[in-house]
Amino acid sequence: GTIPDHLKDLLKSRLTMKTPVANWRAVLRQFAGNSQKVENYRTRKRENYRFPDSPANKTKVVPSICVGIDTSGSVGEHELHEFFNEIYHIWKTGVSVTLVHWDTQVHLVEDYKGQKEVKRVVSGGTYMSSFTNYLNDNRKVYDCGIILSDGFVENDVVDPKIPCLLVLSSNGNKEVNIKCKKIKISL
């Protein structure tokens, strides 16, 4: 009883996850269908056909996805929460997610392990071509790319050479000149 109700509601809204914009399992299967990374593991749930009473080998294909977060000054805290909600749902599908924070240049590259906190590295202008150039330079490392932005970017963006998806914030600009599929987050 020491916290007012309006602050309690605000904290609940920040800490709860909302439903994702897209069916990320289907979208990622479409983009990263032929993944390069394969995990092998042994299981006793299935018997080995060649050697009875031995564990069987199973393989699991794990797509490697590069997610670029627009951390420019035009992106507010509410939009960052929208972005991290979608990133969390992408990670829950079982893919390997690498986060790239960018504004006018790429600032931070890190592996995502399910963190729910919002972390803004820097905030400056917006130059989406810095992230697409990073994707083009590392196209053998990643199977596909996802760009999370508000859409207020330069006019002539360098096109990515790997399959890419642009996810725009709820109050973002849809008039982005880039060759990739676009999805807008709805409220």
45: Cβ–Cβ under 8 A, 6 or more apart, which residues?
56
**Report for 67-71, 79-83, 154-158: range of highest mean pLDDT:** 67-71
140: CB partners within 8 A, 6+ apart: none
Q: What is the pLDDT of residue 101?
A: 92
Locate 175 and state its tokens: 């008039």
Q: Supply the pLDDT for residue 41.
A: 81
| DSSP state at residue 10 | H
Give residue 187's pLDDT.
63
pLDDT digits (tens, 9 = 90+) for 133-163: 999 999 888 988 999 998 888 888 899 998 8
E-strand ranges in the chain read 38-47, 55-61, 64-70, 96-102, 106-111, 144-149, 164-168, 181-184
Provide the whole-model pTM: 0.77
How much is the mean pLDDT over the chain? Answer: 83
SS3 state of residue 85:
helix
From the number of C-beta atoms within 10 Å of its C-beta (0-12, 13-18, 19+), residue 177 rates as: exposed
Q: What is the pLDDT of residue 66?
A: 93
Buried b (16+ CB within 10 A) or exposed e, 108-140: eeeebeeeeeeeeeeeeebbbbbbbbbbeebee
Percent of the chain with pLDDT over 70: 88
**Pure H helices in the chain:** 5-15, 24-31, 77-91, 129-137
Give the per-residue pLDDT at 130: 93
pLDDT in the model for residue 134: 95
Across 154-183, average pLDDT: 86
What is the structure's pLDDT at 27?
A: 72
| pLDDT grade for 33, boundaries at 50, 70 and 90 | low
State how far the Cα of 187 lies from the Cα of 177, in Å rounded to an integer.
24
Q: Is residue 99's pLDDT more than 90?
A: yes
What pLDDT is recorded for position 146?
92
Q: Summarize the confidence of residues 86-104 as an average pLDDT.
A: 89
pLDDT band at 13; cut points 50, 70, 90: low
| Residue partners of 52: CB distance under 8 A and separation at least 6 | none
